[in-house]
Amino acid sequence: MEPSNLDVEAVRSAVLRPVGPWASVDVLPVAASTNAELVERARAADEAGTPLDAPAALAAEHQTAGVGRAGRSWETPPHAALTVSMLLRPDVPDVALGWLPLLSGLAMVRVLRDAGVPAALKWPNDVLLPAGESLDGFGPWRKVAGILAQVVPGGGVVVGIGLNVAQATDELPVPTATSLALSGAPAPALDRTALLAALLRELAAVVERWSADDGDADVPGPGGAPSLVDEYAAVSATLGTLVRADLAGGGGTVEGTAERLSDDGALVVVRADGSVRIVAAGDVHHVREA
């Protein structure tokens, strides 16, 4: 499929009020960072006394200085990726907000799986696709999407998602990355307009359910359906595997089996001596067994 512009009017007709819950969807031809742009828009609107209505989405056809975890910067070729940031104001206690990046990853995986792509999650929210060759840190997986959440002064969270759609190998930043096209995804899964509309629908649905449960991701779904925690665990490539976690802020390294998620979404790691360590933030690497 040849790269094409996002059809913003098609997305709006699918997700804006009253058809859907979204207050606004905009697409820029180019942006340094959709997260930085949307955070600044929210800040300026709050200072002016006219807060942005949420949820609101801002995408870019070409992102030149995207912001990743730990401040890493990355660029996407024009029309080759889905780069979108979303201002959300979930009605949950502040202590529950740590779940939002994980649930955003779950929403992205739902979209890809519905499109026939066998996506999974590396804690907390890297979206992975299976690969033949195993690499240190990722095992038999490659990263196809990343997610970054930033709290907005004045209230709300901006969640940014960068999904590699049509990039060729030489357009990817690292050997551990892939794109939907390189992974052999079916043609319908390469339609960025359809992907954006589906992502906005799924993310809104997840956040609405989570908010209705007062931020408790462990509440079973209607009719005894799996909880959001159970849904996350079912698509996790991390839980049940040996991991090495480089803790944030130079806090050292923890190695052991990723056993489960804590009540606030942190990773519970059981070390070889049976001791337990809670990893709230850091880079997690999948360790290849000898």
CB 126 within 8 A of CB 108: no
Structural domains in the chain?
8-212 (3.30.930.10), 240-286 (2.30.30.100)
* pLDDT computed for residue 72 by the predictor: 56
**Measuring CA to CA, how many Å separate 64 from each of 13, 105, 198, 284?**
28, 23, 25, 26
Alpha-carbon distance 55 to 4, whole Å? 26
β-bridge pairing 66-67 and 126-135: unpaired
pLDDT (tens digit per residue) in 156-209? 999 999 999 999 999 998 889 999 999 999 999 999 999 999 999 999 999 999
Per the omega criterion (within 30 degrees of 0), is the bond before 90 cis? no
- The tally of CA atoms less than 13 A away on the side-chain side of residue 114 is 13
Which two three-digit tokens encode residue 8?
């913003």
CB 28 within 8 A of CB 61: yes
Q: What is the dihedral of CA 99, 172, 75, 250, to 10 degrees?
A: 50
Evaluate the CA torsion angle 148, 259, 225, 93 in order and state its sign: negative
* pLDDT computed for residue 68 by the predictor: 57
* pLDDT computed for residue 290 by the predictor: 37
* pLDDT computed for residue 96 by the predictor: 95
* pLDDT computed for residue 74 by the predictor: 61
Residues of the chain below pLDDT 50 = 1, 290
State the DSSP code for 22.
Answer: B
Alpha-carbon distance 67 to 55, whole Å? 21
CB 57 within 8 A of CB 85: yes
* pLDDT computed for residue 248 by the predictor: 85
* pLDDT computed for residue 137 by the predictor: 74
* pLDDT computed for residue 2 by the predictor: 58
On whether the pTM is more than 0.85, the answer is: yes
CB 91 within 8 A of CB 72: no
Q: Is 36 exposed, middle or buried (0-12, 13-18, 19+ CB in 10 A)?
A: middle
**Measuring CA to CA, how many Å separate 261 from each of 2, 118, 142?**
40, 22, 22
Write out the H or E segment, with its range, that includes residue 116.
Answer: none
